[in-house]
Structure formats: C-alpha cells, structure tokens
Amino acid sequence: MEKSKEILPEYLQLQQVQKVWLSSQAIGDIAFAFTYNIILLDIQDTLKAPPPENKTMKKASATSILITTFFFLCCGCFGYAAFGNQAPGNLLTGFGFYEPYWLVDLANACIVLHLVGGYQIYSQPLFAVAERWISNKHPNSEFVNKEHRIKLPLLPNFKLNLLRLCFRTAYVASTTVLAILFPYFNQVLGVLGALNFWPLAIYFPVEMYLAQNKIRAWTGTWTVLQSFKIFCLLCTMLALAGSLEGLISNKLS
C-alpha cells in the first residue's frame, strides 16, 4: 500500500506532463489547418471585378476562418468530451469502433472529397513555379511547351500538355508514397504546421501590412502587431517542441 501511494503521485505527474505535450502538439495540428494564406493571392487572381477582388477575398477569408474554426472546435471538444485524455488522433478509426458502418464510410468519403480538392488548390503555386522554370530552361521543347487539343465524346475539347501531365502525376504519386510511409500522422502534421504557420501566416503578412500602410515603429498599431507576432512565435515554438517530443517518444516506445 505504501509503495502504491508513492507511485501514484509520480504517475499523476507524468500524466500532467503528457497532457501538456499533447496540448502543444494539438496546437501544431491546428496551425497546420490555418496556413491557407499561401494560396490566397492565387485564388484572388481568378476573381473578377467588380466588386474589387480584395473586398471579395476579405469576406471569403472571414467566412472560411469562421467555418474552419467552428468545425475544429466541434471535433476537439466533442472528442475530448467523449474520450478525455484517450481521445485518438483519428476520430474515425482511432478508437477501434466502426459502427454504424455507413456513417464511418460516409465520413471517410467526405474526407477524401475534401482532401482531393484541397490538394489540387494547395499544389497549384508549386506546379506553376516548377512548370514556368522548366519552360524557361527548355523554350524550344515541344514536350514542355506544346499544347495538344484533346476531343472526347460527350465532353468539351480541352488542351493537354505532356510536361504538365507527367510532372503532376509524378508529384502526386511521390507525395502519396511518402504520406503512406510516414508514421505518426498527428506528430508529423504538428511539425509541419509549426514550421509553416509563423513565417507564412504571421510574420510575412504582418510585415507586408506594416510596410504597405507605412506604420511607424512604436505606434499603437505597430506595438499590437509586434506583440501578436511574438505571441504567435511562442505558440509556434511550443507546438514544434510538443510535436517533436511526440515523434521521438513514439519512435523510442
């Protein structure tokens, strides 16, 4: 009995430490979902005026942030309410319960639909940069620059570029293989989210806003934005530490 009394406080302390690490890892997972700003300009280029593109994009961004935040809060709060500290990273399969089957299958189908569309949008900037660079390197290559007009029955005509077809297919296949090989899904997402969030979603937008509006140092707006930037940096460092700890502990266990 005495030994059990001595072990219990240590166990509770370890549980508290583990909860801190998992919470910081969750911050990294959340940060991964909010780095969409890297594609905002590409989406804005596709909009037509009037109304002005920046006003339309502002409304769309506010709406998307509210919807995303709502769904993530629902998943996090309901998952914690149902499973507590044992809440799995994947609510669909992590708890070993697959009934009703139709509901789990429907949820997985919705996730596939979401990821296929999101993957296409997020990859467009990379595709554009890579294809432009290859085209500049090989301006006389038909494989790189020639557009082939394809006509299929019951479908409108469309243009096909062999470089685009081969490069994008190879890219999707390679990233899919890497995703399959990567273990520890949540921890990897946390690391990626922590590495991308602060520089892409906080630092560069804040600095561009300050430069564009010519906000002088030590004014009220400048102080608030700098404080916000430092706060987000601390959260990012915490998320990175928690995600790395999760990777290392899972690797060693």
In a domain, 147, yes or no: yes
Those residues whose C-beta lies under 8 Å from the C-beta of residue 147, and which sit 6 or more positions away, are 159, 160, 161
Residue 145 pLDDT exceeds 80 = yes
pLDDT in tens, 67-103: 878 887 887 788 778 777 777 767 776 666 667 778 7
Those residues whose C-beta lies under 8 Å from the C-beta of residue 242, and which sit 6 or more positions away, are 20, 21, 22, 23, 24, 25, 26, 27, 28, 190
Print the domain residue range for 173: 98-181
DSSP-assigned letter for residue 88: -
Location of structure tokens 């801190």: 20
User: Is 166 found in the same domain as 103?
Assistant: yes
Torsions phi, psi for 139 (to 5 deg): -70, -20
The tally of domains found in the chain comes to 2
Length of the chain: 253
| Listed ranges 42-46, 90-94, 101-105, 208-212; the one with the highest mean pLDDT | 208-212
From 165, 181, 197, give the residue that closes a domain: 181
Q: What is the 3-state secondary structure (H, E, C) of 28-55?
A: HHHHHHCCHHHHHHHHHHCCCCCCCHHH
**Structure-block tokens of residue 150:** 């394809």
215 touches 52 (CB < 8 A): no
d(CA 106, CA 112): 10
User: Is 214 found in the same domain as 194?
Assistant: yes
User: Is 196 found in the same domain as 121?
Assistant: no
User: Is 194 found in the same domain as 164?
Assistant: no
From 153, 181, 209, give the residue that closes a domain: 181
CA 222 to chain centroid, in Å, comes to: 28
Encode burial over 179-198: b for 16+ CB neighbours within 10 A, e otherwise. Answer: eeeeebebbbbbbbbbbbbb
39 touches 122 (CB < 8 A): yes
pLDDT in tens, 212-249: 888 998 998 999 999 999 998 998 888 888 888 887 87
User: Is 177 found in the same domain as 198?
Assistant: no
User: Is 74 found in the same domain as 107?
Assistant: no
What is the pLDDT at residue 2? Answer: 47
In a domain, 102, yes or no: yes
User: Is 250 found in the same domain as 189?
Assistant: yes
